[in-house]
Structure 1
């Protein structure tokens, strides 16, 4: 059933790519030109007009109490209003947590940024090109050249159910480039990094994230997988053109907007780091991220000029090709309102 779902979504993605080549994105132009609302709540409500079923925005601006804004539905099929404290699939925002975990292990001298993939995983020599030249640093920075397993056609046709299965999708493929000579965003890098964390500490990587990041920050609404939560607490996810609710698909970490916001504030102000860690982190990864999996889009950024963390969740993705752009426009309008006020 899961394979059929992902195959249908892949077909819709292909159709959307073709359609987008032939039509001017007037909806983007129109959205940009609309007068800016006076309040963030009004903008969040306007987001529903862009084709999203539900939206959550968390704002933590210095000198003000953090605030949550929401509109639309948590479950559109059953007319359940959006819950601003609902759990959401944060997708690639989770890479920030993994990068922090790597930083802490490096600071503890349990990992070395300049040691190679071949050293940490000798079994991958001959299966991943340049394994003897790809360093831990290059993997964190997406400069390893390792192909992205989610870009492989077989990922959609027959989705792997294990880490080994995902890795087999890229085994024996040529590297995208020689290590350090380019940049290609690759989920395979972070799949391997999570495996490396688990191998180094001797237990599951997410437990380490919980011990070293979540617990110190008192983040009790961040989880490693769907199996750890009550499904009723999860915001539904929809793909336009496909009828089923995608929230039953396990797609990695889940968190509330508030938990992500607290984490991002601590990441940017350095309060989550021990001595020496922030210098390491700053040398290897970014301080903001976005996330996208079928049914779920998320943006997590810190805006230094106004000292504000802004998190946005939207629970509908669309084959038209402009859905992501619309979420970014809505996000930028929220930030403009903050700056204006």
Structure 2
């Protein structure tokens, strides 16, 4: 695999200019075809080593203030981390706000575990792209080739369409009962596919783009078809363990590892009564097979993206494929194979993913040299505005000019919108209210 595919020039921080070092090259490493490939002499080379980036105390204080507003405006607890990288190293800020448990008032732990929801998808996409890079599958392979007879029209749907949400398949979760009605109900992947099949496609494959969770259920099943092993095992052995993501897991049961940031739903105990918080931290995650099962920490999610963009996860060819925008939706979001391209209101172009799952709202947003991840234990009707305020505070500071991340080539430029939203998994603030006596906010 290639490494360090791209890194933005480091911003000179409080430490000042980099030190001047003398490096003696005893056995020069030369690339094939280099004019120095034969008989390259041993030389003493002087090079500048940049100082690591430094986040100012003012910026740290401002980020904490904005994170506090995330809780003030409706989340019971939140944790966020900003990492700035450069050739000289990195610097980071991690902040917490609110409480981890409404009943005890325990504070949020910076290492709190969280259901990262759809932030799971790029982990699955990277795993499948590794298999493609190994020649064990192709992006233009069809679903029918790997999962014969499972999906009507599967011969017209490619793996590329699954990963880019251009398959046209219905997002099964929109026709499922809410988690709170039977939190320990175990779902088989075939049942999820059946729900999507009963609803029928929303457009012809490859003619449009629409976010659909069934795409990643199928991607996980393709991984299993290719390898003969559970998709979760492949993600662990190919992504989680090599990157040292010790706070990341793919649980099979409802239990959450400690420390945990607990989740709540706003439910009306009776028609017309004000909503009250009901705990929803523990539930069987099988309803999100392959699409939103991962539990992680803000540190691990940022580590994954840093490693991904530096070439530690995919080789150059597969990383280029992942970061090639296939389609752009009406919100201006460009869909790659996993990560999504967006332009912030300040004009900074980012790669991102967001997530919605019962009681939780998740965000991870990245430029070439800045990585921000935010977890909210959501409780308000609409948790997005304060989250976007923090994201833009982290990536649009007035004193710096963020470097654009790679675009993978041939990418249509997304049109900026104030803040893109994502459909809630159970009919929340951006969908018609559920037809039940209580109301869910996720």
Shared topology, TM-score over 0.5? yes
The Cα of 1:339 is off from its aligned counterpart by 5.1
**Separation of aligned partners in 2, 1:247 and 1:155:** 14
**Separation of aligned partners in 1, 2:60 and 2:237:** 42
Instruction: Name the residue aligned to 1:55.
Output: 78
Matched, 1:82 2:108: yes
- 8 Å CA contact 2:83, 2:92 repeated in 1: yes
**Separation of aligned partners in 1, 2:250 and 2:115:** 10
Instruction: Name the residue aligned to 2:249.
Output: 223
The Cα of 1:154 is off from its aligned counterpart by 4.9
Figure out how many residues of one structure are paired with residues of the other and give that number. 299
Which of 213, 217, 229 pairs up with 1:191?
Answer: 217
The Cα of 1:227 is off from its aligned counterpart by 3.4
Instruction: Name the residue aligned to 2:389.
Output: 329
Which of 373, 377, 394 pairs up with 1:311?
Answer: 373
Which of 144, 148, 151 pairs up with 1:118?
Answer: 144
3-state SS of 2:99 partner: strand
**Separation of aligned partners in 2, 1:122 and 1:247:** 36
Instruction: Name the residue aligned to 1:297.
Output: 361
**Separation of aligned partners in 2, 1:298 and 1:231:** 18
Q: Which has the higher helix share?
A: 1
Matched, 1:280 2:340: no
Gaps of 5+ in 2: 1-58, 267-274, 286-292, 325-335, 340-350, 402-442
- Written as runs of structure 1 = structure 2, the 5 A alignment for 1:51-200 is 51-63=74-86, 64-124=90-150, 128-152=151-175, 154=177, 161-200=187-226
The Cα of 1:269 is off from its aligned counterpart by 2.5
- 8 Å CA contact 1:140, 1:189 repeated in 2: yes
The Cα of 1:153 is off from its aligned counterpart by 5.0
More moved, 113-122 vs 136-145: 113-122
Instruction: Name the residue aligned to 2:298.
Output: 257
3-state SS of 1:61 partner: strand
3-state SS of 2:314 partner: coil
**Separation of aligned partners in 2, 1:185 and 1:101:** 20
Larger radius of gyration: 2
- 8 Å CA contact 1:264, 1:301 repeated in 2: no
3-state SS of 1:170 partner: helix
TM-score with structure 2 length normalisation? 0.63
The Cα of 1:37 is off from its aligned counterpart by 9.1
TM-score with structure 1 length normalisation? 0.80
| RMSD (Å) for aligned C-alpha atoms | 2.4
Q: Whose relative contact order is higher, 1 or 2, with alpha carbons under 8 Å and at least 6 apart?
A: 1
**Separation of aligned partners in 2, 1:194 and 1:325:** 32
**Separation of aligned partners in 1, 2:158 and 2:225:** 16
**Separation of aligned partners in 1, 2:234 and 2:294:** 14
- 8 Å CA contact 1:130, 1:175 repeated in 2: no
Closer, same or farther: CA 37–264 of 1 in aligned 2, 3 Å: closer
Gaps of 5+ in 1: 1-35
Closer, same or farther: CA 45–150 of 1 in aligned 2, 3 Å: same
3-state SS of 1:74 partner: coil
**Separation of aligned partners in 1, 2:92 and 2:254:** 27
Following superposition, which runs of at least 4 residues in structure 1 exceed 4 angstroms of deviation?
153-160, 228-231, 337-341
- 8 Å CA contact 1:155, 1:169 repeated in 2: no
The Cα of 1:197 is off from its aligned counterpart by 0.7
